[in-house]
Structure 1
Amino acid sequence: MKKILIPIALVAAGAAAYLYQPQAESDNVLSYVPADTPFFTGQLTPFPIKDYIASAPNLIDPKNPTHIESLYGEESPSIDFLTNLLSTYEDSLKDADLLTSNFGLADEIRAYFYTLGLLPVLKVEVANPQAIWDLLDKNEQETGFSHTEGELKGLKYRIYPMVEDDQGEPINLIIAQSNGMLTATIQSSFVSEDLLAMALGLQKPSKSLADTHMLEDIMQQHQFTNSSVGFVNHVEIIKGLTSEDDNQLAKQLTELTKDEDTAFQLLHSAACKQELRGIAQNWPRTAFGYTQMDISKEQSTLGFAAVLESKNQPILNALKTLRGYIPNYTQNFDDNVIATSIGLDVGQLSSALTDIWANLKTPRFQCGPLADIQYQIDASGESLAMLGMGSSMAANVKGISSAIFDYSVSQDNDQPRLESLDALLAVHVKNPVALFNSIKMFVPDLQQIDITNNGPAVSLNKVVPIPARLNLDPKMAIKGDHFVIYNGNKGLQEAEKLSLETLLAKGLYQLSFDTKKILTPIADAVELAGEVIPEEAMFLKDYDTRMNINVDINDQGIRLDSTMNHKAAEN
């Protein structure tokens, strides 16, 4: 079993490398994807990969192959072959034209990655099929790793032996091309001729994704664009784990474990089958897709969302009561170096957790693994009660946030020195004056300080003296429903804006950052200190990327949204 997972991981890693630059094939591919596939992701409309690569800065320096070279020398021609392909891919990232030329890609492509039960299948549109064969031939010559040829229903394909399973049966990587589509999959003892034919697009399943409205429903339900969509089907995964032949995954697991004593047999009991499938119906799917796609050679902005879908309304309702306040200043990555916020209605914490714990404990499970989890939940009751008592002390808190808006360094006696810092820390709370007065009882240094709502700020140096060499003069103040500590003019400006914001429930978590604004002062500090920035890290100075991440709860489930913007490096 362990060896079987190796080629699956290798193919999945290859898929991730492609799908990192989001991609996929023609709508006809959906006709060959079973409706019960456990996993699917596809770029349904052509993705402008050439423009995207041109606008995207390199996270890995193409000039520094050290991390690739370390993979060689494992006395495995197959590993050297795959490593060589990965090296070629990374070298190609230097130039969009080089990438499309080396891999035979068009300027705009589509790609899919999905599974037939356990069998991974990657499909990528190619404009020049011969370029793929030339690339593979070149890597075979350089690594001494060779292929044999197979044929199925008139389609010829390459067979690359990778490893052997526990019974000594070979596990092969299969590469085929047909109708402008590259297919990569694996061949093993659990892969029948019919299953391989389906993977190669030669045989259709009895019911395919094209026969359903699943993808359309996901895009409509979660406001994804029609460019890309994917999902993990929890119902089909649980069905595969709790039966011998209820779906394709179950049949494959049964075949793979027929000579082994495994935990799957315990999950096949009537109690486990009923209870696990009931949970899966309540949490049926994780869906993901793009919410925005604006791409040019100069810059690209991609919005992506993932939703853990839930039909468990008691838990969703409890989680929604925890949603707290997310201030406006943390949500715009153009204005910040880095900003983050935790939205949490502390006053609802005890009751929400009580409701969630009660739901998790009902009904009493008979399935062994689930009963063990419930026992652990029961044992945590005392900790839950203590948490409830502690949260009552801060019941009016709706969230906490912080940001660095700007910072710079200078040189002082040949040493880097913090020249300026614009920053803000805020606690968002009903009646912040009362909260501050409560804190004073536990902090003697605060006893002599009085802060009034929208009154004059108080220097934090009066409480905690800050060394002059740090060049900081943070202030404490109360602005409306917000207790703030700020430094610098921008920190003051954003603190003043907070006084106009009311404590509406907006979400659970927010993070935004700008990598160039983070890294540039650090690089300046290194240079001012007389240090030399390693050549392999110099490219990071031009890594011009911004990202915003948001976590929230809605009627569909637990949702994560992210937006990434990056600009091409200046020449």
Structure 2
Amino acid sequence: MNKTIIAGAILAAGAGAVIMSQQDSTPSYNVLDYIPADTPLFAAQLEPFPLKNYIASAPRIIDPNEQQASDENAASTQPGASFLLSLIKSYEAGLTDADLLVKTFGLPDDVRAYFYTLGLLPVFKIEIANEQAFWDLLDKAELDSGFSHKAVKLQTISYRAYAISDPTDPVNAEVIVAIDKGLLTITFNSAHNEETLLASALGLTKAEHSIADSGKVEQIIKQHNFQQASVGFIDHVELIKGLTTQDGNQLATQLSTMQQKLGTGGYLEQIRTEQCASELATIAANWPRTVAGYTQLDITAKESTIGFSTVVESNNQVILNALTALRGFIPKYTSDVHNNVLAMGLGLDSSEFSHTLNTVWRDLQTPAFSCQPLAEIQTQISQSGDVVGMAGMSANFTNGLQGVSAGLLDYSISKKGNKAQLDSLDALFTISADTPEQLFNSAKMFLPALQHVQLTSGGEPIALNTIIPIPPEMKIDPKVAIKGNHLVIYSGDKGEKVANALASESLSKNGLFDLSFDFKKMVTPIITATELAGEEIPEEAMFLTEYDARMQLSIDTNQEGLIFKSEVNNKAPK
């Protein structure tokens, strides 16, 4: 397991993956004025993100041994890779010390940042508090690696250009690093880029039609109830326009120019036809954007909680109505991230399953496309009709089912001889249905062991080991019962408490999928058991015991589109 990647993902999720920036009340320089409204990809932080406190609240997940390995790798690689590894080493060191990271990289404690594209060209900007500290960081990496830059000036801005292509390559690809107006800019340049494009990336030329003027950012925040702190999007309409037209937007113009210079078309030529342009534009209009933003942002040096929502927008009411009808019931305990080890719930109205499958299957074949790549996809969908029919028929056996869920609430492990043994298990498995008694009685036809078992709502629980023999060394005594609209198998005092609480939870269509887990609670007993058994613990696993974090993930749908939500809670090491 690569801890560097995990660390980077965590930091990006909190501070850089999808962030937006709101300028001061009287800004002299608004980055949004330099971003074209037709940008296909945008992410920024409208309010300063408390980077220093977030890093302080995050678990320590970098160890000295991995940093030493980075040093050894840097010494044995090419200069460009050594340069990058030197920067990664500084980054890793900063993840264990918030003060060190902001000092080394010259960042402010609370930072604003932007990521967007000028057609194909990616541009990243982040606020810098100490310009010299950042240049010193790059100088040190150059000294460590022997990789050097070229000093260049464009109009009023001096920047560093780091070559990333072979000197004989006519493309002449470079990474551009510049600091101006308190902002660090990292972008790319090549022989294919016009000088005006680099000038736009460096903030020298305002966009003719900017995202600031379009009102797009404010509209997304209002429509999806995101916090003002952040917003991001992938514009599917602009992407399709760029791929299927000659000059419909900046992306299209750049691709056309590259096509002329390189003399190749390939797949691009297949979809740059009148039929494909029209049909793909229709699809994009039905699924116009993927948008994202914060729904919660509570960060201190001791604890942080970040809520994040991603919505795949849709105007296809046929599919949205079908998916909405499919939603089922998910119990409350599946989202109780602070009291569970691991819990998961699948909401599914089985009476709507067949109808939803057939509705989506038919919609994907309507209208019949003449664009060759789309027609081929439709042919494959059409040929899957038998599978769709069989899946729909199988749902009839579970008519009345509204959801399935399971939770591991707690467990403990100890040593017995030279082996680890399970001492306790608090868990439950739930089937939620309109009439769970009927569902249970239907199961008797397939499971002879259940023939003489009688369960009724509110009746006494039955020990599962009277139905299915359970080895005594497992030290568990699970019970099966019907609690209201829920058929429950549970174990342990905590499992019983949650099972009893289900009796008061009436069925409602409240979701499609929910998952919550606690890293530390999951990993610590397992590692303890491994140690008790005298087995060696992989170094990559040990750091997880210090990772005091909880996460909740969910998938749902409404009339806006498909919704993916997450919430991460971190606590600083004690």
Q: Same fold (TM over 0.5)?
A: yes
> Per the alignment, do residues 278 and 79 of structure 1 end up closer, same or farther by CA in structure 2, a change over 3 Å counting?
same
Matched, 1:123 2:147: no
Count of residue correspondences: 559
Matched, 1:265 2:269: yes
> Per the alignment, do residues 536 and 275 of structure 1 end up closer, same or farther by CA in structure 2, a change over 3 Å counting?
closer
| Residue number in structure 2 paired with 1:483 | 487
Q: Match for 2:185 among 183, 196, 208?
A: 183
Q: Where does 1:458-497 land on structure 2 (aligned, <5 Å)?
A: 458-497=462-501
| Residue number in structure 2 paired with 1:350 | 354
Matched, 1:228 2:230: yes
> Per the alignment, do residues 193 and 314 of structure 1 end up closer, same or farther by CA in structure 2, a change over 3 Å counting?
same
Matched, 1:550 2:543: no
Task: Name the stretch that deviates more: 148-157 or 446-455.
Answer: 446-455
TM superposition shift of 1:65: 3.0
Q: Per the alignment, in what secondary structure is the counterpart of residue 407 of structure 2?
A: strand
Q: Match for 1:389 among 377, 390, 393?
A: 393
Stretches of structure 1 lacking an aligned partner (at least 5 in a row): 1-11
Query: Equivalents in 1 of 2:317, 2:113: separation in Å?
Result: 36
Matched, 1:500 2:493: no
> Per the alignment, do residues 494 and 238 of structure 1 end up closer, same or farther by CA in structure 2, a change over 3 Å counting?
same
Q: Where does 1:134-533 land on structure 2 (aligned, <5 Å)?
A: 134-164=136-166, 168-258=170-260, 259-533=263-537
Q: Does the Cα contact within 8 Å between 2:159 and 2:177 map onto a contact in 1?
A: yes
Q: Does the Cα contact within 8 Å between 2:60 and 2:573 map onto a contact in 1?
A: no
Query: Equivalents in 1 of 2:566, 2:456: separation in Å?
Result: 38
Matched, 1:76 2:90: no
Q: Does the Cα contact within 8 Å between 2:340 and 2:409 map onto a contact in 1?
A: yes
| Residue number in structure 1 paired with 2:26 | none
Q: Per the alignment, in what secondary structure is the counterpart of residue 85 of structure 1?
A: helix
TM superposition shift of 1:475: 1.1
Q: Does the Cα contact within 8 Å between 1:157 and 1:177 map onto a contact in 2?
A: yes
Q: Match for 2:101 among 99, 115, 121?
A: 99
Q: Per the alignment, in what secondary structure is the counterpart of residue 173 of structure 2?
A: strand
Q: Per the alignment, in what secondary structure is the counterpart of residue 334 of structure 1?
A: coil
TM-score of the superposition, structure 1-length normalised?
0.94
Q: Does the Cα contact within 8 Å between 1:236 and 1:247 map onto a contact in 2?
A: yes
> Residue type matched to 1:277 in 2?
A
Query: Equivalents in 2 of 1:70, 1:344: separation in Å?
Result: 52
Task: Name the stretch that deviates more: 446-455 or 324-333.
Answer: 446-455
Task: Name the stretch that deviates more: 50-59 or 530-539.
Answer: 530-539
Q: Per the alignment, in what secondary structure is the counterpart of residue 197 of structure 1?
A: helix
> Per the alignment, do residues 32 and 366 of structure 1 end up closer, same or farther by CA in structure 2, a change over 3 Å counting?
same
TM superposition shift of 1:141: 0.5
TM-score of the superposition, structure 2-length normalised?
0.94
Query: Equivalents in 1 of 2:9, 2:167: separation in Å?
Result: 24
Matched, 1:19 2:12: yes
Q: Does the Cα contact within 8 Å between 2:104 and 2:133 map onto a contact in 1?
A: yes
TM superposition shift of 1:251: 1.5
> Per the alignment, do residues 21 and 351 of structure 1 end up closer, same or farther by CA in structure 2, a change over 3 Å counting?
closer
Q: Does the Cα contact within 8 Å between 1:159 and 1:174 map onto a contact in 2?
A: yes
Query: Equivalents in 2 of 1:190, 1:18: separation in Å?
Result: 33
> Per the alignment, do residues 26 and 221 of structure 1 end up closer, same or farther by CA in structure 2, a change over 3 Å counting?
closer
Q: Does the Cα contact within 8 Å between 2:106 and 2:129 map onto a contact in 1?
A: yes
TM superposition shift of 1:512: 0.7
Q: Does the Cα contact within 8 Å between 1:15 and 1:122 map onto a contact in 2?
A: no
| Residue number in structure 2 paired with 1:559 | 563
> Residue type matched to 2:518 in 1?
D
> Residue type matched to 1:352 in 2?
T
Q: Per the alignment, in what secondary structure is the counterpart of residue 400 of structure 1?
A: strand
> Per the alignment, do residues 263 and 534 of structure 1 end up closer, same or farther by CA in structure 2, a change over 3 Å counting?
closer
Q: Per the alignment, in what secondary structure is the counterpart of residue 196 of structure 1?
A: helix
Query: Equivalents in 2 of 1:149, 1:386: separation in Å?
Result: 66
Task: Name the stretch that deviates more: 516-525 or 206-215.
Answer: 516-525
Query: Equivalents in 2 of 1:286, 1:471: separation in Å?
Result: 49
Query: Equivalents in 2 of 1:502, 1:18: separation in Å?
Result: 40
Q: Does the Cα contact within 8 Å between 1:62 and 1:93 map onto a contact in 2?
A: no
Query: Equivalents in 1 of 2:74, 2:111: separation in Å?
Result: 31
> Per the alignment, do residues 14 and 419 of structure 1 end up closer, same or farther by CA in structure 2, a change over 3 Å counting?
closer
Query: Equivalents in 2 of 1:190, 1:446: separation in Å?
Result: 72
> Per the alignment, do residues 26 and 84 of structure 1 end up closer, same or farther by CA in structure 2, a change over 3 Å counting?
farther
Query: Equivalents in 1 of 2:87, 2:277: separation in Å?
Result: 43
Task: Name the stretch that deviates more: 534-543 or 154-163.
Answer: 534-543
Query: Equivalents in 2 of 1:194, 1:563: separation in Å?
Result: 41
Stretches of structure 2 lacking an aligned partner (at least 5 in a row): 24-29
TM superposition shift of 1:20: 3.7
Task: Name the stretch that deviates more: 279-288 or 462-471.
Answer: 462-471
TM superposition shift of 1:86: 1.4
Q: Per the alignment, in what secondary structure is the counterpart of residue 393 of structure 1?
A: helix
Query: Equivalents in 2 of 1:540, 1:198: separation in Å?
Result: 44
Query: Equivalents in 1 of 2:343, 2:514: separation in Å?
Result: 8
Q: Does the Cα contact within 8 Å between 1:329 and 1:494 map onto a contact in 2?
A: yes
Query: Equivalents in 2 of 1:438, 1:66: separation in Å?
Result: 61
Query: Equivalents in 1 of 2:546, 2:161: separation in Å?
Result: 42
> Residue type matched to 1:86 in 2?
I
> Per the alignment, do residues 71 and 271 of structure 1 end up closer, same or farther by CA in structure 2, a change over 3 Å counting?
farther
Q: Match for 1:42 among 30, 44, 65?
A: 44
TM superposition shift of 1:403: 0.2
Q: Does the Cα contact within 8 Å between 2:189 and 2:198 map onto a contact in 1?
A: yes
Q: Does the Cα contact within 8 Å between 1:64 and 1:536 map onto a contact in 2?
A: no
Query: Equivalents in 2 of 1:389, 1:535: separation in Å?
Result: 49
TM superposition shift of 1:474: 1.2
Identity over aligned pairs, percent: 47
Query: Equivalents in 1 of 2:506, 2:199: separation in Å?
Result: 60
> Per the alignment, do residues 155 and 382 of structure 1 end up closer, same or farther by CA in structure 2, a change over 3 Å counting?
same
> Residue type matched to 1:326 in 2?
I
Aligned Cα root-mean-square deviation (Å): 2.1
